[in-house]
């Protein structure tokens, strides 16, 4: 067991979702007093969202984690205005959040090519500075990664999340018969016959006290924020963390609520796993009764674990990740739920654009009916195109 733990640690410590960096803009170049020449500004330091990279790759490529902009060129007789120092770009994975050292958010980079300047180069020497250049201030920043996925797997340890991800996608997470096998998030892609792709994230198991950073704590919960929908994966027999702790079931979502109540507003599905076990059908019927009328079973929960509101699941699907039972139906439900969400978002976007048109017409010169109809048709076509794109 010691050797297994060592192997797991060596394999999974590779995943890094937070890095602290030292950044410093370049120093400006000297001015030329005799002819009034201006020195070049120092180079800036940028963080750029880049595909096919990771924080581990960044850490390995730049072990010192120090990024300093180039020095501006001095003014000279040949070049009255010195050239700007070379900018430095820090490649970061898409979905990164750039923060100050104290956690203050500078900017989120969610699309490839997004960039933010984290250190500005100092000004070159000029008349106002007696031709001496200015130095840039050094600072520390943090790159905090929150995974972006269509569906995030949520559940207690040993519920079969990793086995389910393996059965449904191209991912190959570590699977074993003990709890806490998943020590880092794992992304898989679910491919449909019409080549529609859905990304799914297997996240470390959720335990009591995760909201105060117990277990994987915030390392787990922060990744849930970026997923479009939640797929709760539960053992039909329940989960018991230790001999002195009670069994937990599917309608207990207090940890998510305590961390960030908005998470419970995400669309959610429930996969009841391990239906190949004895008495699974009977236990499934009890679970469905609890989910249908949770208020009647609230006395089964400790007082501090009673949520303000109970989560409503769009689909409850019994499955067995080992035998494959119910997986095709689960795939259909996942896609259907995502498609419904895309349509709802497209309709909301449509209404928002129409409201902007109405406000514009009330403030400025009123648009004629013909112009209004033409603009409305254009917006409708754009929204329909977005719907078709989401369905494909």
* Per-residue H/E/C for 16-70: CCEEEEEEECCCCCCCECCCCEECCCCCCEEEEEECCCCHHHHHHHCCCCEEECC
The CA-based angle 185-283-154, given to 5 degrees, is 15
219 Cβ neighbours under 8 A, 6+ residues apart: 17, 204
Q: How far is CA 337 from CA 64, 187, 194, 313, 350, in A?
A: 45, 19, 17, 11, 20
**pLDDT tens digits for the chain (392 residues)?**
333 333 333 333 445 778 999 999 999 999 999 988 999 999 999 999 998 888 889 999 999 999 999 999 999 988 899 999 999 999 998 888 999 998 899 999 988 999 999 999 999 999 989 999 998 889 999 998 876 688 988 877 777 888 898 888 876 654 434 334 444 667 788 989 988 889 888 876 554 443 334 444 345 566 677 788 989 888 888 765 555 555 666 555 555 555 456 677 788 898 999 999 988 999 889 888 888 887 777 776 667 666 677 778 899 999 999 999 999 999 999 999 999 988 888 888 778 877 877 777 665 555 555 555 655 666 566 555 555 555 45
Is residue 109 domain-shared with residue 165, that is, in the same domain?
no
Pairing label, strands 138-145, 96-100 = antiparallel
Tell me the residue range of the domain where 241 lies: 151-325
Q: What is the pLDDT of residue 302?
A: 66
Among 280, 297, 325, the domain-final residue is 325
Q: What is the pLDDT of residue 356?
A: 76
Residue labelled with tokens 């095709």? 328
Q: How far is CA 387 from CA 309, 340, 350, in A?
A: 32, 10, 11
Is residue 261 domain-shared with residue 370, that is, in the same domain?
no
Q: Which residues pair with 196 in a beta bridge?
A: none
Is residue 139 domain-shared with residue 99, that is, in the same domain?
yes
Is residue 92 domain-shared with residue 204, that is, in the same domain?
no
Q: What is the pLDDT of residue 320?
A: 95
Distance CA 47, CA 44 (A): 10
Q: What is the pLDDT of residue 365?
A: 52
Residue 225's CB is within 10 A of a number of other CB atoms, namely: 15
Q: What is the pLDDT of residue 4?
A: 30
Residue 56's CB is within 10 A of a number of other CB atoms, namely: 15
User: Which helix (DSSP H) or strand (DSSP E) does residue 353 occupy?
Assistant: helix 327-363
Is residue 202 domain-shared with residue 127, that is, in the same domain?
no
The SS3 assignment for 67 reads strand
- The answer to whether residue 336 is domain-embedded is no
CB–CB of 122/112 below 8 Å?
Answer: no
- The answer to whether residue 161 is domain-embedded is yes
Distance CA 158, CA 177 (A): 7
Query: What DSSP character marks residue 277?
Result: S
Is residue 189 domain-shared with residue 299, that is, in the same domain?
yes
Among 85, 113, 145, the domain-final residue is 145
CB–CB of 171/130 below 8 Å?
Answer: no
- The answer to whether residue 331 is domain-embedded is no
- The answer to whether residue 10 is domain-embedded is no
The CATH number assigned to the domain holding 120 equals 2.70.210.12
Q: What is the pLDDT of residue 8?
A: 36
Residue 15 CA, distance from chain mean position: 15
- The answer to whether residue 101 is domain-embedded is yes
Is residue 161 domain-shared with residue 203, that is, in the same domain?
yes
The CATH number assigned to the domain holding 306 equals 3.40.50.300
Residue labelled with tokens 């960096």? 21
Is residue 182 domain-shared with residue 76, that is, in the same domain?
no
Q: What is the pLDDT of residue 144?
A: 87
Among 115, 145, 175, the domain-final residue is 145
Q: What is the pLDDT of residue 217?
A: 38
Is residue 182 domain-shared with residue 230, that is, in the same domain?
yes
Is residue 136 domain-shared with residue 116, that is, in the same domain?
yes
Q: What is the pLDDT of residue 292?
A: 83
- The answer to whether residue 3 is domain-embedded is no
Is residue 220 domain-shared with residue 115, that is, in the same domain?
no
- The answer to whether residue 330 is domain-embedded is no
Q: What is the pLDDT of residue 119?
A: 96
pTM, two decimal places: 0.64
Q: What is the pLDDT of residue 40?
A: 96
Work out how many domains the chain is built from and give that number: 3
- The answer to whether residue 258 is domain-embedded is yes
Is residue 224 domain-shared with residue 91, that is, in the same domain?
no
Q: What is the pLDDT of residue 107?
A: 94
């Amino acid at each position: 067991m010691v050797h297994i733990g060592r192997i797991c640690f060596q394999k999974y410590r590779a995943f890094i979702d937070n890095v602290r960096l030292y950044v410093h803009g370049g120093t400006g170049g000297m001015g030329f007093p005799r002819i009034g020449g201006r020195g070049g500004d120092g180079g800036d330091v940028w963080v750029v969202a880049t595909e096919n990279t990771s924080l581990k790759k960044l850490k390995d490529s730049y072990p010192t984690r120090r990024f300093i902009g180039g020095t501006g060129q001095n003014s000279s007789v040949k070049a009255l205005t010195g050239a700007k120092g070379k900018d430095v770009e820090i490649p970061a994975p898409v979905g990164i959040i750039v923060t100050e050292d104290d956690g203050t958010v500078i900017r989120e980079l969610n699309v490839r090519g997004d960039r933010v300047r984290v250190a500005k180069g100092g000004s070159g020497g000029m008349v106002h500075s007696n031709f001496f250049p200015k130095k840039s201030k050094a600072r520390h920043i943090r790159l905090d990664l929150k995974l972006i996925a269509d569906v995030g797997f949520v559940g207690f340890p040993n519920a079969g999340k990793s086995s389910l991800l393996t059965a449904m996608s191209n991912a190959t997470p570590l699977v074993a018969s003990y709890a806490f096998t998943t020590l880092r998030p794992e992304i898989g892609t679910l491919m449909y016959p019409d080549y529609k792709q859905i990304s799914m994230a297997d996240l470390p198991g959720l335990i009591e006290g995760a909201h105060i950073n117990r277990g994987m704590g915030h390392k787990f919960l922060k990744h849930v924020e970026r997923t479009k929908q939640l797929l709760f994966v539960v053992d039909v027999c329940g989960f018991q963390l230790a001999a002195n702790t009670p069994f937990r079931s599917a309608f207990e979502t207090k940890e998510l609520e305590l961390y960030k109540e908005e998470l419970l507003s995400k669309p959610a599905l429930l996969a009841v796993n391990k239906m190949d076990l004895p008495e699974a059908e009977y236990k499934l019927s009890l679970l469905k009764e609890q989910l249908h009328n949770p208020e009647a079973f609230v006395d089964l929960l400790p007082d501090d674990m009673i949520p303000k509101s109970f989560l409503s699941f769009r689909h409850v699907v019994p499955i067995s990740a080992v035998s494959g039972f119910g997986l095709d139906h689960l795939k259909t439900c996942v896609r259907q739920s995502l498609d419904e969400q895309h349509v709802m978002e497209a309709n909301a976007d449509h209404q928002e654009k129409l409201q902007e048109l109405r406000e514009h017409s009330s403030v400025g010169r009123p648009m004629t009916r013909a112009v209004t109809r033409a603009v409305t048709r254009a917006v409708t076509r754009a929204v329909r195109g977005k719907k078709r794109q989401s369905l494909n």
